[in-house]
Amino acid sequence: MRTSTALSLCGIGLVACIGAAMAGKHLATAAPQRPPQQPTIDRSKVPQLEPVRAPADLGAEAFEHVRALTGFGPRTPGSPGWTQQLDYVQRHLEGLGLTVQRDTWTDRKELVTFTNLAARIPGDRDERIVLGCHHDTKCTRGHPDPAHNFHFVGANDGASGVALLLALAPVLQRARHRATIELVFFDGEESLDWAWNDAARALFGSRRFVKRHRDAQLLGEEPRIAALILLDMVGRTDLHIQEELYSTRRLRELTWAAAVACGHQQHFFQRAEAASDDHVPFLEVGIPSVDLIDLNGNPHWHKPTDTIENMAPASLQKVADVVLTMLPEVERLYVLGDG
């Protein structure tokens, strides 16, 4: 990976983005605290699951959320679009009767203000399964390399995960769950550097969320998080969810089993590679996690072409099917301990 030192401004007063030649979450390289990469699963030896289909119009509904979110423009922390998006997400969830928790803080080193949003759907037990995504978009302003400066709305890389969680929320409310389901929208996933730099200046929201959870759990103030299912870049027309090799093996097996059960296996696990993402802070503290991400081979990643024209409701529908199919088994294994 080539490196350089260059100052970039990202629209919130003074946001230092000392950068290089790659961007955001990236295909994995070695890092001191990163979970070890694991072998690919044996796809012939996975449990058989009963398919759970999302409502037929869920993909279309999620697609309309993508349209609204990208209409706000770039959504880097502190930007007008970022503010509009936070309000949009909160209004939608509160309109469903959910209580939304805003956690806003300023990183003392970066002098950047971030906001995580979270809402819980009660289940039979207090232990939580987190369904997460990131809501910020990559900074594409002020870089010394002109190729890194362009209008970027992050239709897939940012908006797709947010949109799918918003569309899934009422479906999850109508079902009975063994665990409490928590929807979490992480801020600051994207690197402030143009280069990834081993997440030294990225994953702000997920690291904050995990630390606050661990502190509260140690004080007996909240129950444990049993598992994380992370959605990142899940709406591309030519959908391909890679087998992400930092993710917990058993959860990767359940993802593949759900894809097979739903008949969507051609869009899942045809390629495998590790990727640093918002699941890494969870894995670092021992929380089982899986990252559903379409990064490997994605031609629109951190490009001006990451627009709604390269998205498809059918792709969002397929990922929704897989999440809903695997979720009961995740609850059984990680909350009830029946595995």
How high is the pLDDT of residue 337? 87
How far apart CA 3 and CA 310 sit, in angstroms, is: 30
How far apart CA 137 and CA 294 sit, in angstroms, is: 16
Q: How far is CA 205 from CA 92, 112, 197, 263, 273, in A?
A: 21, 12, 17, 34, 23
Residue among 168, 292, 316 nearest 236 (CA)? 316
Do 35 and 164 contact (CB within 8 A), yes or no? no
Do 264 and 325 contact (CB within 8 A), yes or no? no
Number of DSSP helices (H) and strands (E) in the chain, helices first: 7, 8
pLDDT, tens only, 165-210: 999 999 999 999 999 999 999 999 999 988 888 889 999 999 999 9
pLDDT, tens only, 66-124: 999 999 999 999 999 999 999 999 999 999 999 999 999 999 999 999 999 999 999 99
Higher-scoring residue by pLDDT: 194, 29:
194
How far apart CA 87 and CA 276 sit, in angstroms, is: 28
How far apart CA 45 and CA 31 sit, in angstroms, is: 31
How high is the pLDDT of residue 25? 54
Average pLDDT, stretch 40-56?
A: 95
DSSP 156: I
Kindly state the greatest CA–CA separation across the chain. 54
The tokens 């959910």 sit on which residue? 98
Q: Within 13 A of 71's CA, how many CA atoms are on the CB side?
A: 8
List domains and CATH numbers for the chain: 58-334 (3.40.630.10)
Which H or E run contains 115?
strand 112-121
Average pLDDT, stretch 14-38?
A: 49
Residues above pLDDT 70, as percent of the chain: 89
How high is the pLDDT of residue 142? 82
Do 38 and 289 contact (CB within 8 A), yes or no? no
Output the pTM of the full model. 0.92
What is the band of 251 on the pLDDT scale with cuts at 50, 70, 90?
A: very high
Which H or E run contains 261?
helix 249-262
How far apart CA 88 and CA 64 sit, in angstroms, is: 13
Residue among 99, 101, 92 nearest 121 (CA)? 99
End-to-end CA distance of the chain: 41
